[in-house]
Amino acid sequence: MTLSLLLAVLASGFIYGITPGPGVLAVFGIGAAQGRRAGAAFLSGHLLGDVVWCSTALVAIVGARVIGSTAFDVLGVLSGLYLFWLGMRAIGAKRSNGDQPQGVARQPFWHGVTFGLTNPKAYPVAVATFTALISSRAELLDWSMLPAMILLSFIGGIAAYAIVVAIVGARHVRALYVRHELAITRVCGVMFIGFAINALVHAVPGLLPKFPAR
């Protein structure tokens, strides 16, 4: 595994873990209500769901590459379009009272496990994020790399959650996050669009008809 691929998988796991979403919003609420330890317990449980979804996503990505470059390119286009759609939604997001930070959780760890495993957006976001960041190195992928890639994505996720845990127990952090939630969401939207463009740039040329040189 090359250094560039290693860093791409590591970054994918980190970005997947730290990007604001239902899990991050929930841990800010739990941390504010019960403290940093409860927030850390919730994320420890949530990490199990992340491992499951990221591993499944990596299996799909490597499998598509092994089947053939066309299958991987199709996956890349679909992932790029999905990330672009997510990015546009995030940029156009409006403040809503529907998704408020959660309060007290009686068993934060098991609540995190359930939360992480039942998030319906987890798998498509994982596939799209990993595909976008790995697409430029697709020719290097094979089944022998899968265990190392899963481990690297896990390490990236731990690094992301360590940062979240470090700030979730700090005073006024929840209020600051809620106050600037829209700005943070929109910045993430721009980032998703950047990933989408990267995925499409690498996937679309492989699907275009190749004309013989004159």
- Token pair of 65 as six digits: 């590459």
**pLDDT for position 177:** 67
Q: Which DSSP state fits 171? A: T
Residue 103 pLDDT greater than 80, yes or no: no
Residue 185 pLDDT greater than 90, yes or no: no
Q: pTM here?
A: 0.72
List pLDDT tens digits, range 65-87.
888 778 888 888 888 888 888 88
Q: Does residue 211 lie in a domain region? A: no
Q: Does residue 72 lie in a domain region? A: yes
**pLDDT for position 71:** 80
Q: Does residue 212 lie in a domain region? A: no
* Domain range for 9: 3-206
* Of 212, 204, 214, 201, the residue nearest 69 (C-alpha): 204
| Number of domains into which the chain is organized | 1
List pLDDT tens digits, range 153-171.
999 989 988 888 887 766 6
**Distance between CA atoms of residues 14 and 160, nearest Å:** 5
Comparing 181 with 211, the larger pLDDT belongs to 181
**Distance between CA atoms of residues 76 and 202, nearest Å:** 8
Task: HSE, CB side, 13 Å, CA atoms: give it for residue 57.
Answer: 30
